Structure 1
Amino acid sequence: MRRLTKAALATGAGALLLLGGAQTLAYWTADGTATGTDVTAGTLTMTDGACGDWLLETGVPVAEGIVPGDTLTTTCTLTVGGTGDHLALGEITVSDPTWAEANALTASLDVSLAGATLGGAELDLPLAEPAPFSGTQDLVVSVEAVFDTAAGNDTQALTAALDDVTVQVTQAHLVP
């Protein structure tokens, strides 16, 4: 019986060695290198522009002076330029203006963005959907100044000379 046991053990060990060796198959591998290409980012630019005269809410220029409660508007024209496959405007804002000289009148004027057109097309503000554009187009913003009805007597006979107002556009991604 010892021979049978030895033979069985030898056969089992041989089978184990064969099975173990079957799991160490070698596969060929190879490597290669692909040459990359360039990609360039688009652009968003804006050139400085100029604003027109202040107009009263009736659309006529100020003749004799503004009074508390008046709403004035001016339009400022700038040029927006851009390149990019999915370029769009997502937001347009105006900063608080700088005045040639700060005084009680300038402190009583609340300035905000009232409207805008891009390339002649009126934009619905605030932009709910990105406004696609490419190349260069005129951006005309309508800036509104409301003379506070609570303004005091110290605002009389003063001048508010608009030095500048900063218009900022923010890029949006246009989903095709």
Structure 2
Amino acid sequence: MKRLTKAALATGGGALLLLGGAQTLAYWTADGTATGTDMTAGTLTMSDGTCGEWLLDDGTPVTEGIVPGDTLSTTCTLAVGGTGDHLALGEITVSDPAWAEANALTAALDVSLAEATLGGTALTLPLVEPVPVAATDELVVSVDAVFDTTAGNDTQGLVAALEDITVQVTQAHDVP
């Protein structure tokens, strides 16, 4: 064969290879639609409750008046509950109290959450592990009020009437 013919055949073969490589492969495709299902969010609820009388640190009621250095406590009972497959309590807090009248005595009282029970079971505060909650459980919190030892004479003879205190629970995710 002549060189020219060989070159023409090589060029033609190369062109065929290039054209063959430029084509795309086609695969069949099909689509389908799956019907979904509903999901419903759970709930976390708490009803308003009541607090008992203030007791001195020895467990007796206040009869003659509190003095700087006293720690008083009261228990407040509320109903907490909810729904959800992995519903648990992750945190329990109390707000600053609302006093019927603000005065030097109310300013000298430091109020904090001391203890809590849920459904009769004592909880370790602050909560380290999530605590499962049922549809309805009784939450009892013990709140302490410490009368500041640096309180001045302007606190004498005053009344601190607790109007309300907000107890807040925060949801946690509990996977058994």
TM-score range relative to shorter protein: over 0.9
| TM-score computed with the length of structure 1 as normaliser | 0.93
Superposed displacement of residue 156, structure 1: 1.1
- Structure 2 partner of 1:58: 58
Give the gaps of 5 or more residues in structure 1. none
Superposed displacement of residue 15, structure 1: 4.1
In the TM superposition, 1:86-105 aligns within 5 A as 86-105=86-105
Superposed displacement of residue 151, structure 1: 1.1
Superposed displacement of residue 98, structure 1: 0.7
Percent of pairs with identical residues: 75
The one-letter amino acid of 1:20's match is G
- Structure 1 partner of 2:116: 116
Superposed displacement of residue 140, structure 1: 0.3
| TM-score computed with the length of structure 2 as normaliser | 0.93
In the TM superposition, 1:128-139 aligns within 5 A as 128-139=128-139
Superposed displacement of residue 134, structure 1: 2.0
Q: What number of residue pairs does the alignment pair up?
A: 174
Superposed displacement of residue 6, structure 1: 2.4
Superposed displacement of residue 64, structure 1: 1.0
The one-letter amino acid of 2:80's match is V
Superposed displacement of residue 20, structure 1: 2.2
1:56 and 1:62 in contact (8 A); partners too: yes
The worse-fitting range, judged by mean Cα deviation, of 43-52 and 4-13 is: 4-13
Distance in 1 (alpha carbons) for counterparts of 2:96 and 2:7: 99
- Structure 1 partner of 2:21: 20
The one-letter amino acid of 2:21's match is G
1:153-173 C-alpha deviation (Å, 9 max, x unpaired): 111111111000010111111
The one-letter amino acid of 1:14's match is L
Distance in 2 (alpha carbons) for counterparts of 1:74 and 1:3: 109
Using a 3 Å threshold, how does the CA distance of structure 1 residues 13 and 92 change in structure 2: closer, same or farther? same
Distance in 1 (alpha carbons) for counterparts of 2:170 and 2:153: 40
The one-letter amino acid of 1:92's match is I
* SS of residue matched to 2:11: helix
The one-letter amino acid of 1:70's match is D
1:84 and 1:134 in contact (8 A); partners too: no
Distance in 2 (alpha carbons) for counterparts of 1:70 and 1:160: 14
- Structure 2 partner of 1:149: 149
1:54 and 1:74 in contact (8 A); partners too: yes
The one-letter amino acid of 1:148's match is D
The one-letter amino acid of 1:7's match is L
- Structure 2 partner of 1:3: 5
Distance in 2 (alpha carbons) for counterparts of 1:159 and 1:37: 59
Using a 3 Å threshold, how does the CA distance of structure 1 residues 65 and 15 change in structure 2: closer, same or farther? closer
* SS of residue matched to 1:110: strand
Superposed displacement of residue 132, structure 1: 1.0
Distance in 2 (alpha carbons) for counterparts of 1:25 and 1:174: 51
